[in-house]
Amino acid sequence: MRVSLPLLVSAFAVCGVMALPVVYLALRAGESDSSTWDLILRSRTVGLGIRTLGLAASVTATAVAVGVSLAWLTTRTDVPGRRLWAVLAPLPLVVPSYVGALILLSVLSPRGLLQELLAPFGVDRLPGIAGFPGAFLTLALFTYPYVYLLAVAGLRGQDPALEETARTLGLSRWATFRRVTFPLLRPSVAAGGLLVALYTLHDFGAVSLMRFQTFTQAIFLQYRAAFDRTPAAILSLMLVAVALAVLGLEHRARGRARYYRSGSGARRPLSPVHLRKWRWPCAAFCGLVALLAVGLPVTVLGYWLSRTVAAGREIGEVGPAMFGSLAAAAGGAGLTVLAATPIALLAARHPGRSSRLAERLTYAGFALPGIVVALAFVFIGANLVPALYQTLPLLLVAYVVLFLPQASEPIRAALLQVSPRVEEAGRVLGRSGAYVFRKLVAPLASRGAMVGFALVSLTVMKELPATLLLRPTGFETLATLVWTESSVGRFGAAAFPALLLVTLSAIPLYLLAGRVDLQEVRAE
């Protein structure tokens, strides 16, 4: 089949937009004179790099430790309450980092809820957690599910015969885990760790609320404070470089082994590991994580809400913000799906070098922090197309750059369900190409597009930095409302929009994930 020209043109137009931010930032940085570089290369920047990498490394290490232990405990052992922990463990994923930060701050800041509780005992001030401890705790608590989910999938996909072979070769349970199970899990753990590391590098909400200066926060401050925005552009490029380095690291961590479950024989579930005297300590560990990552957010947000209502105060002007969130989500997701369709069609129907390149480019958004994309579009809007500056369309384009793969992947996957052979069979049966496309390809693509729309709109709803920088004046979303209220310490006012945001994004996510889970359960 030949590639139609309109398809090719529209696909490469999308690619052009995807490449725009980085190209523009590079040009902008290239213009800078030596004095700007002096500014950048001052020791402050070195400190910035150390802090950013240190945070990313410690968060990733903690998330891996927590995620892998939970995954192993819930899939392979007889830990009490394993079903409950398996349900609770992925939930923190729906809590955006800035909401997490707001929750921890409102409890643990010097005069937070914990201090109020302890006041009768003469505690009138707590040390507080602003800075590294707060940023670390927030990000680790709400990102470990990435590792958990991938580790669970990895553990379930392992060939049970491998562990059994190790046992017949004389290895104890623990030695088997150390020498077989964990090494085989490494690619899943590396992929999960990558997601956590990138999330941490990209995070703007938690670090800025916790006042811990990393690249993203420095970029934001530079952008706000300085008239000359070139330093912000250079900092952005440095952050992109760090993100790319992390991607490379993950690639190396995969090692040279290939991982697959060979054979198609009947699956025998492995008999669970009996923890014996460790059963209750392990259950306590699961309980502690669930308490901090699920119980605490629910309790704190609920508490703030009831307190605000009880005090007779308005629960806040959430109407416009909620409308803004829904509008941004629908608009952003719609535009992203539209842009993703030619890319997905090209990748699924015409695999080749150019379509691979197009696909790779769409993943740019994955490595690009929201704040960097936002900054690039601020420049572009302000200098090149002033008519678009601080308008909704420009914000929506930024969403496209950030979230395109989330839409193109489901569409492509749906298209790949129909092999080209099936299409050819349709043609041989005497149907025109257009007929086959309409009857076969289009319905499938639209199913994928719906999934993509759902995923992107959920993500847009939680997105903070790009929305913050690019929104039209006076345009408020739940995310920006939570951020502005909590950055000035008005946790009560932030709680309701935060709760709304979590609920709005959690319910569809639960439905999406629930369907997958149910199918798995039935298959077992």
Residues contributing to the site for other proteins (CB under 8 A) = 159, 161-162, 164-172, 179-180, 183-184, 186, 255-260, 262-263, 265
Q: Name the H helices within 32-176.
A: 34-41, 43-76, 82-88, 97-108, 113-118, 132-157, 160-168, 173-176
Q: Name the residue nearer to other proteins (CB basis): 258 or 353.
A: 258
Q: What does the CA dihedral 302, 306, 307, 311 come to, rounded to 10 degrees? A: 160
Phi, psi of 77, rounded to the nearest 5 degrees: -120, 175
Q: Name the residue nearer to other proteins (CB basis): 32 or 77.
A: 77
Q: Name the residue nearer to other proteins (CB basis): 54 or 183.
A: 183
Q: How far is the CB of 262 from other proteins (least distance, A)?
A: 4
Q: Name the H helices within 385-441.
A: 392-416, 420-428, 433-436
Q: Name the residue nearer to other proteins (CB basis): 46 or 169.
A: 169
Spatial separation of the C-alpha atoms in residues 243 and 216, rounded to whole Å: 12
Q: Name the residue nearer to other proteins (CB basis): 166 or 240.
A: 166
Q: How far is the CB of 184 from other proteins (least distance, A)?
A: 6
Q: How far is the CB of 111 from other proteins (least distance, A)?
A: 52
Q: How far is the CB of 167 from other proteins (least distance, A)?
A: 4
Q: How far is the CB of 254 from other proteins (least distance, A)?
A: 10
∠ Cα 311 314 318 (to 5°): 140
Candidates 228, 285, 292, 217; CA nearest to 55 is 217
Spatial separation of the C-alpha atoms in residues 274 and 43, rounded to whole Å: 53
In which region does residue 125 sit, left (phi positive, over 0), alpha (psi from -120 to 50) or beta (all else)?
A: beta
Q: How far is the CB of 158 from other proteins (least distance, A)?
A: 10
CA 314 to chain CA centroid, Å, is 33
Reduce the DSSP state of residue 77 to 3 states and report it. strand
∠ Cα 431 10 353 (to 5°): 85
- Assigned token pair, 497: 């929009």
Reduce the DSSP state of residue 451 to 3 states and report it. helix
Q: Name the residue nearer to other proteins (CB basis): 171 or 338.
A: 171
Q: Name the residue nearer to other proteins (CB basis): 184 or 201.
A: 184
Expressed in angstroms, the distance from the first to the final Cα of the chain is 40
The residues that bridge with 77 in the sheet, in sequence order, are 273
Count Cβ atoms below 10 Å from residue 49 Cβ, excluding itself: 15
Reduce the DSSP state of residue 273 to 3 states and report it. strand
Q: Name the residue nearer to other proteins (CB basis): 184 or 461.
A: 184
Q: Name the residue nearer to other proteins (CB basis): 271 or 306.
A: 271
- Assigned token pair, 273: 């590991």
Spatial separation of the C-alpha atoms in residues 168 and 289, rounded to whole Å: 35
Spatial separation of the C-alpha atoms in residues 205 and 375, rounded to whole Å: 16
Q: How far is the CB of 278 from other proteins (least distance, A)?
A: 18
Spatial separation of the C-alpha atoms in residues 523 and 508, rounded to whole Å: 23
Q: How far is the CB of 257 from other proteins (least distance, A)?
A: 4
Q: Name the residue nearer to other proteins (CB basis): 110 or 255.
A: 255
Candidates 209, 291, 109, 108; CA nearest to 498 is 209
Q: Name the residue nearer to other proteins (CB basis): 2 or 268.
A: 268
Q: Over the Cα atoms of the chain, what is R_g?
A: 25
Q: How far is the CB of 364 from other proteins (least distance, A)?
A: 31
Q: How far is the CB of 326 from other proteins (least distance, A)?
A: 47
Spatial separation of the C-alpha atoms in residues 219 and 375, rounded to whole Å: 9
Q: Name the residue nearer to other proteins (CB basis): 44 or 167.
A: 167
Q: How far is the CB of 191 from other proteins (least distance, A)?
A: 15
Q: Name the residue nearer to other proteins (CB basis): 257 or 511.
A: 257
Count Cβ atoms below 10 Å from residue 341 Cβ, excluding itself: 24
